[in-house]
Every structure is written in structure tokens, then in C-alpha cells.
Amino acid sequence: MENYNGEMNGFEPGRFLPPAKPRHTPSLILGIVSIVSLWFTFGVSGVVLGIIGIVLARNNRQAYNTNAGFVLCLISLIIGGIFLVVVGMGLLILFLMPDSIGAYYIRDLLESFL
């Protein structure tokens, strides 16, 4: 197509550009899902999905701006890691204190499942 000056506007007839693939979308979705789900799985899903999302975001960072997905996955990884450490320490303290009320209830709960 020519404009009023008779110049081409960067479009050549018969040449089509392929649509851009949104490669940043998986890392963004993983970041959102990991932040939402880490509260229900005691941080395990936050850590796992956060690592996967960070890897996807870093692989596609050269071609696209994937800062949002990267940041969400990083936040999820940090919060999930803190959550895992706190829950693990709490359970360890309860099991190391054999006469505590909490240890009694946890042992009773675990025995009912096993």
C-alpha cells in the first residue's frame, strides 16, 4: 500500500507476519496460582510452582518483558520457603516436647490416619 507520497508503509503485499506467541503468560499464570495455592498446601506448591515459573520467566526474558511473572514467582518462592521453615520448625518442636498437649493431639491425629 502506498501513502499519499507514493512511499510504501512497511507492508509488502503477500508477506504476512506471524502472530507473536505470548511466552510470558505461563510464568504469570504460575505466579498467580502459586501465590493463591501456597496458603492451602503449607508452602509446598508455592515453592515448586515458583521455581518452575522463574525458570520459564528467565528463559523468555530476552524476547519478552516477563517481569510480572518473574516477580510473582519470586514472591511465592520466598513466602513458600518461609512458610515451610516455620511449619517444619513448629512440627519439630511439637515432636521434641513429648509431654506437651500439642504433641499428644498430633500423635493421636497421626495414629488415627495410620
Mean pLDDT, residues 15-26: 65
pLDDT digits (tens, 9 = 90+) for 36-48: 888 888 888 889 9
Q: 78 by DSSP, 3-state: which?
A: helix
In a domain? residue 13: no
In a domain? residue 8: no
Which has more pLDDT, 112 or 10?
112
In a domain? residue 11: no
Work out the mean pLDDT of the chain and round it to a whole number: 77
Do residues 46 and 38 lie in contact, with contact meaning Cβ atoms separated by under 8 Å? Answer: yes
Q: What percent of the chain has pLDDT over 90?
A: 11
Which has more pLDDT, 19 or 110?
110
In a domain? residue 90: yes
In this prediction, residue 12 has a pLDDT band, given cuts at 50, 70 and 90, of: low
Domain extent at residue 103 = 25-113
In a domain? residue 9: no
In a domain? residue 16: no
Is the pLDDT at 5 greater than 60? The verdict is no
Cα–Cα dist 34/43, whole Å: 9
Q: Record the pTM.
A: 0.64
- Tell me what pLDDT residue 15 has: 61
Cα–Cα dist 25/28, whole Å: 5
In a domain? residue 85: yes
In a domain? residue 65: yes
Do residues 49 and 30 lie in contact, with contact meaning Cβ atoms separated by under 8 Å? Answer: yes
Which has more pLDDT, 88 or 65?
88
Q: How many domains does the chain have?
A: 1
Q: Which residues, including other chains, have CB under 8 Å from residue 77's CB and lie 6 or more apart?
A: 34, 46, 47, 50, 51, 54
